[in-house]
Amino acid sequence: MDTPGLDHWADITVVAIYFVLVLAVGLWSLCRPNRGSVKSYFLAGRDMKWFPVGASLFSSNIGSEHFVGLAGTGAASGIAMVMYEWISMPLVICLGWIFLPVYISAGVYTMPEYMEKRFGGKRIRVYLSCLSLVLYIVTKLAVSIYAGGLFIKLALAWNMYISVTGLLLITGLYTVLGGLAAVIYTDTFQTVVMTIGALILCAISFDKIGGYEGLQYKYMEAIPSVRANNTTCGEPRADAFHIFRDPINSDNPWPGLLVQTSLGCLWYWCCDQVIVQRTLAAKNLTHAKGGSILAGYLKLLPLFLMIFPGMISRALYPDSIACVDPAECEKYCENAVGCSNIAYPKLVLELLPVGLRGLLMAVMLSAIMSSLTSIFNSASTLFTMDLWRRMRPVAQERELLIVGRLFVLFLCGVSILWIPLVKSSQGGQLFNYIQAVQGYLGTPITSLFLMAVFWKRMNENGAFWGIAVGHVCGVIRMAVDFSYPAPECGEEESRPSVLLNVHYTYFGSLILIITCISIVIFSLISKAPTEQQLRGVTYWTRIDKLSDESRKFEEENLNSFNGHSDMKLESSEEVVMEENETKGCNYWARFICGIPKNQPDRGTPEISQKQIRQFLYENPKWQTFMNINAAIGCVVMAFLTGFFH
């Protein structure tokens, strides 16, 4: 029986109302004052409170690839991948408590910019900027676009590439116009929609299958009717309801899983532009910590919002979701390697009544749009602030704003070209593809930032060549992985032993060690950084820990470097006031795009010493409150891990 589409007037009305509300939030964000500045466009004016920050952290991370990919992985192999979600709690706490104060102390817009201020060289900044853009395309944009297009294709029976084009038009529009503020405010709204809608589906799904005990029984019986005789193909894993699995022969060996989800993913939560940019936009460190804790609590929900519904979908529709015969899979989802990726969309369209299907369609659209807009804004920030300013040192602020917007359009086209590879990789399990590629390319970044923040002896030579060695190892493994895909069930294994016997989580752990050793060696054979070079850029020398004498030196140094930042903001406001006097067509076009008229050349917009001090100050009462909440969050995460071990 064909999956029903989204064709009832009530469902369409719900989706239409959702779009109207998102558009209203986006248009409201366009009315913010002083929108035509780099600080406002890329960092939302550094005026965000804890709830929008936390909601945007969660929404930026939880995209359609989670509803499609994480649910699909749950359907195919069980709950082990939830560790990538739960370990986020201690990682976002590391961001708010350890890494963010260093980034703020350094006064940066981007993570590659931090590396330049930490080491002084240009090449490490350019290297990391280019690497981040590549990672956004191969693990974020293409995956989000593919997952979103897949859901819309099932719901509306549209061609996937037509669906993708529609997605890009909608999401690119308010990202280009509104900047980070529009992204964060719409993310906040979409987080509420996502959470409520997904919880409703979870409750209905468990009611349908007979609760958790019913899921345990029916999932283990969910075997497709069409499969080869005398094989185990299509049978659920015996350890599907356990996180910690056999360390040698399982699909997710527990030692590798623990290391990869913690240290291996630290770069994503503490060093990735998409995530860190949200906390950089907070009003102060207390609001940034509050947002981090909120995001950590929300990240405990994916087991119930996505993985269990994916497993329920397999239990209810085993022939389609658990198919192993290529012809059957092609019939159900047009993907011969497996159909687990349609587990969540199929559950939505088959199980929910009229009206609620429209709500869950809005949930998926929220996930798609929030991820895309976050990535678009952060990628344009990296390109504009780290690469374009290097190519055009004399670029005015007006030019930076235009370039940032145009780069979003370029990203859209490149991402579409990557979709066919995403579609076929990792046996059709989208989330496995994401974690594998991030493990190969992202793990060395963990070593780089950890040592940059904590090891004062590290220098630019060690940073550049250390991460280069790590990435050479990762790229070689990734090339082998893509060249030798896993055989279909029942076929003879032909992959080389380095791929077959060394799980990608173990290989990620190995890259972590190799990168650290390389950084130490290359740093020790070259000149150590001076104390002046280290001021404000490591955990031990961040501004709030400097002595009074050092603070005075730092203040003089930053003031001479930053120039008259307050005067620059005032000049921007004067330009806006002058424009208000002449409201013609050109004025409204500039207003919508957020580009002031007759923008003076302000040079590089920097963060003032006064702003750094204000951000880092914490009220002792709220500091204690945040510390207690962080401890409670870690205890809750540990309890859940122990319960489902």
pLDDT in tens, 366-375: 667 667 777 7
Instruction: Report the mean per-residue pLDDT for the chain.
Output: 78
Whether 605 is in a domain gets the answer no
- The closest alpha carbon to 233, from 153, 353, 324, belongs to 324
CA pair distance 219, 209, nearest whole angstrom: 10
Q: Which of 72-81, 137-146, 460-469 has the highest mean pLDDT?
A: 460-469
Does 587 fall in a domain?
A: no
pLDDT of residue 561: 35
Does 46 score more than 80 pLDDT?
A: no
- pLDDT, residue 560, reads 40
* pLDDT of 302 over the 90 cut: yes
pLDDT of residue 231: 67
- And the tokens for 488? 């279909």
Query: Is 560 within the bounds of a domain?
Result: no
- β-strand partners of 282: 48
Number of domains composing the chain: 1
Measured distance CA(309)–CA(213) in Å, rounded: 14
Is the pLDDT confidence value at 532 over 70? yes
Question: In this structure, is residue 567 part of a structural domain?
Answer: no
Per-residue DSSP letters for 245-307? B-TTTSSSBHHHHHHHHHHHHHHHHHH-HHHHHHHHTBSSHHHHHHHHHHHHHHTT-HIIIII
The more confident residue out of 576 and 461 is 461
Which of 144-158, 312-326, 422-436, 475-489 has the largest mean confidence?
A: 312-326
Place 418 in a pLDDT band, splitting at 50, 70 and 90.
low
Please tell me which residue, 266 or 576, carries the higher pLDDT value: 266
Determine the pLDDT at residue 45.
Answer: 53
Q: How many whole angstroms separate alpha carbon 335 and alpha carbon 267?
A: 32
53: left (phi over 0), alpha (psi -120 to 50) or beta: alpha
Share of the chain above pLDDT 70, in %: 73
Contact 46, 611 (CB under 8 A): yes
Q: What is the pTM of this model?
A: 0.82
Q: What percent of the chain has pLDDT over 90?
A: 27
pLDDT band, very low/low/confident/very high, at 462 (cuts 50, 70, 90):
very high
pLDDT of residue 7: 73
Q: What's the CATH code of the domain at 202?
A: 1.20.1730.10
In a domain, 617, yes or no: no
3-class DSSP assignment, residue 557: helix
Q: What does the H/E/C string look like for 452-481?
A: HHHCCCCCHHHHHHHHHHHHHHHHHHHHHH
CA distances 266 to 192, 271, 520, Å, are: 26, 7, 20
Structure tokens at 250: 């399982």
Whether 574 is in a domain gets the answer no
Question: Which structural domain, as residue segments, surrounds residue 458?
Answer: 9-225+240-540
Give the per-residue pLDDT at 597: 53
C-alpha span between 102 and 528 (Å, rounded): 20
Question: How many residues are given for the chain?
Answer: 645
Per-residue confidence (pLDDT) for residue 426, from 0 to 100: 41
Give the pair of three-digit tokens for residue 182.
């529009």
Cα–Cα distance for residue pair 23/29, rounded to 1 Å: 10
Burial 163-202 (b: 16+ CB within 10 A, else e): bbbebbebbbebbbbbbbbbbbbbbbbbbebbbebbeebb
Q: Regarding predicted confidence, which is higher, 237 or 414?
A: 237
Cβ atoms of residues 67 and 341 within 8 Å:
no
Q: Is-contact 96 294, C-beta < 8 A?
A: no
- Per-residue pLDDT, averaged over 424-431, amounts to 49
Tell me, what's the pLDDT at 87?
93
Asked whether residue 489 is domain-assigned, the answer is yes
Arithmetic mean of pLDDT, 95-124: 89
Q: Does 28 fall in a domain?
A: yes
DSSP per-residue string spanning 185-207: HHHHHHHHHHHHHHHHHHHHHHH
Distance, CA of 336 to CA of 324 (rounded, Å): 8
Q: What is the DSSP letter of 582?
A: -
